[in-house]
Structure 1
Amino acid sequence: MEQSGQMELSQLLKPNAVKAFGHATSKKRLFQDLGDIAHSVYGLQPADTVDALQERESLGPTGVGHGVALPHARLYGLDRVVGVFIRLDKPMDFDAVDRQPVDLVFALFAPKSSGVDHLKALALVSRTMRDASTCAKLRANSDPATLHAVLTEVRGTQAA
């Protein structure tokens, strides 16, 4: 597959992997929701997904600040990096670096052997979610199709 080397969020995130939820009662419950979505959209095993997310989280919280969390995990049985996005109506405690509760969660799942693609995807998602206007649009909408459009319309033209 020829690529211009430019990774796009639309390659990582299927429209049906974008959800809006009222709230999550705990980080574990949120990871289960992410696992369920990853299962229905990408065929990942929910238990493996949840375990991998929790294992990664135990190394250090993935709440990056400003209400954003970027949980991620490497899994067997994947052939490319994929994403799941959840917008919460009610922010939840996530042990984020700035101690702010989290309401925008972009999870990434990468093949065990993904190497640099995993890091590229993480950098792309991180850049996107650091953009204040993108986050404001995400918080202003609860329609999954709109959320997907907001996430995938962002181009790599902004400075990092």
Structure 2
Amino acid sequence: MQISSILRPEAVKVISSTSSKKRLLHDLGDLAASVHHVDPTRAVEALMERETLGPTGVGHGVALPHARLGDIDEVRGVFILLEKPVNFDAVDRQPVDIVFGLFAPEDAGVEHLKALALVSRTLREASICKKLRANTDPQTLYTILTEGQSVQAA
């Protein structure tokens, strides 16, 4: 699995600021709806339900919110770079500015976990996060995300 198989260029967005974690989850749901044609209300509800199990802010300014949906047939991703970090109740209590949302079918087993592990490994690389934070062009961000993963696989 490669990031390019779950993330489309049009699913990458830069937002100057957002008011809260809840607003950010709405932004993720809206982006998923526009690119992957999911129900935005259900997407946001599923993300919020998942957050009640424990925060998906993994530390170092990175969050990996994820949820399962009934109206999607394969794992899909959306990416948001925030120009102004927001409190996300992350494990290290640091605000987040790199957010990779994953949506999987309700019956997705190992594919969902593989995608989550792939994104997590990629965004654990400090050099990739540094490049992401230094750019605000969505196409450049997409290239960084997809090339970074290819280099690691080589």
Category of TM-score, reference length = shorter chain: over 0.9
Question: What are the equivalent positions in structure 2 for 1:17-96 lying under 5 Å apart?
Answer: 17-96=11-90
**Superposition deviation, residue 30 in structure 1:** 0.6
Equivalents in 2 of 1:27, 1:87: separation in Å?
Answer: 14
**Superposition deviation, residue 157 in structure 1:** 5.4
Equivalents in 1 of 2:17, 2:5: separation in Å?
Answer: 27
Instruction: Could you tell me which runs of 5 or more consecutive residues in structure 1 were left unpaired when the two chains were aligned.
Output: 1-6
Question: What are the equivalent positions in structure 2 for 1:78-117 lying under 5 Å apart?
Answer: 78-117=72-111
**TM-score relative to the length of structure 1:** 0.93
Q: Which runs of 4+ in 1 moved over 2 A?
A: 155-159
Matched length: 153
Instruction: Could you tell me which runs of 5 or more consecutive residues in structure 2 were left unpaired when the two chains were aligned.
Output: none
RMSD: 1.0
Alignment deviations for residues 2-58 of structure 1 (CA, whole Å, 9 cap, x no partner):
xxxxx0000000000000001110111111111111011000000000000000001
**TM-score relative to the length of structure 2:** 0.97
Equivalents in 2 of 1:75, 1:32: separation in Å?
Answer: 15
Question: What are the equivalent positions in structure 2 for 1:112-151 lying under 5 Å apart?
Answer: 112-151=106-145
SS in structure 1 at match of 2:45: helix
SS in structure 2 at match of 1:154: helix
Equivalents in 2 of 1:69, 1:76: separation in Å?
Answer: 23
